Structure 1
Amino acid sequence: MRKFLPKFAYLLATSAGAGLSPVWPGTVGAGVGVALAAVLIPASPWLIVLAYMAVFAVGVWASSHVISRTGTEDPQIVVIDETFGTAATLSMLPLDPVWWAAGFLAFRFFDVVKPWPIGVVHEKVRGGVGIMLDDAAAAVVAGVLLLLLNDLIQRLP
């Protein structure tokens, strides 16, 4: 069990190896988030919320483990946060390829640029909680802005 848990933590933190991609590991991890959101489409809203709570908690544990093993505050191979953030963003949006593409791009923008308040979370909260929480904030900002845009579009004549 002692050898299994560290490997399992790495498997989860890298979103089944997506974080090991030699190019754009965060974007590859975000792609896993698209798959996660798609799998959850038929689930009830409560099950979706529970699934995201579980992914968040597992992400905190797994990324904390990788941080402690690597001695790096935000290891590049840890992409479960991008997986979580993308899936959470897409789950807020209409089930439409255009909205999902916009959600993917908006989440990645806010995740990379980290404007206020996302940047504050990124700077102030450390460890596995910080890794997951700044992406949760990016997901909320991206999702809310796109929902407002969708509402505006629906109101146009």
Structure 2
Amino acid sequence: MNKVQFDLTKWYQFLALGFGSGLSPKAPGTMGTIAAIPLVVLLLWAGNIYLLTFVVLGSALGVYLCGQTARDIGEHDHGAIVWDEIIGLGITMLWAPLHWQTLLVGFVLFRLFDIVKPWPISVLDRSVHGGIGIMLDDIAAGLAALASLQLLIPFLPLG
């Protein structure tokens, strides 16, 4: 079996691979989500409008950069492509208060929805292809995690 060759000097591959975090030999999706934390915290600290803007623009950009990276390597949604996880965590944290507790719960919820892929996330994952397919299941996982986090926030010890 041929080993996939990525080229981090290509800007779109660098971003698609989560600044290189997706190249982790273990749990690349989780590593990509961890790599998103400083960016999400900074944008959330700056204000929800900045995080929302990043999520919207990053989702649109992600369709291109994930799709192009997949075409370059000849493999749809390779595990190293983690830009979708970065956007998914951003979606999860929208309108959440900036506390370590919300970040931890949001992280766990997003990873849970992304890994388990309950309906309709699983349908999107199986039936939508290309760059939009790579992005769409993680956007859906992010929305499910966002809704769940918002329901849990009143019960978190944020003091």
TM tier relative to shorter chain: 0.7 to 0.9
Matches within 5 A, 1:115-154: 115-151=118-154, 153=155
Question: What is the TM-score of this pair, normalised by structure 2?
Answer: 0.86
Say whether 1:84 aligns with 2:87: yes
Q: Is the 8 A contact 2:48 2:94 kept in 1?
A: no
What SS does the aligned partner of 2:19 have? Answer: coil
Cα distance per residue 1:10-62 (max 9 Å; x no partner): 10100110111111111110012211111102334333222111211221111
1:5 and 1:142 map into 2 onto residues whose CA distance is 30
* Alignment match of 2:21 (pick from 18, 23, 32): 18
Unaligned runs of 5+ in 1: none
Cα distance per residue 1:117-140 (max 9 Å; x no partner): 111111121111111111010011
1:79 and 1:9 map into 2 onto residues whose CA distance is 12
What is the aligned partner in structure 2 of residue 96 from structure 1? 99
Question: What is the TM-score of this pair, normalised by structure 1?
Answer: 0.87
Identical-pair percentage: 37
* Alignment match of 1:56 (pick from 54, 59, 62): 59
Q: Is the 8 A contact 1:66 1:75 kept in 2?
A: no
Unaligned runs of 5+ in 2: 1-6
The total of aligned residue pairs comes to 150
Cα displacement (A) at 1:90:
2.0
What SS does the aligned partner of 1:34 have? Answer: helix
RMSD: 2.0
User: Structure 1's 107 and 5: CA in aligned 2 closer, same or farther, altered over 3 A?
Assistant: closer
Residue type of the alignment partner of 2:21: A
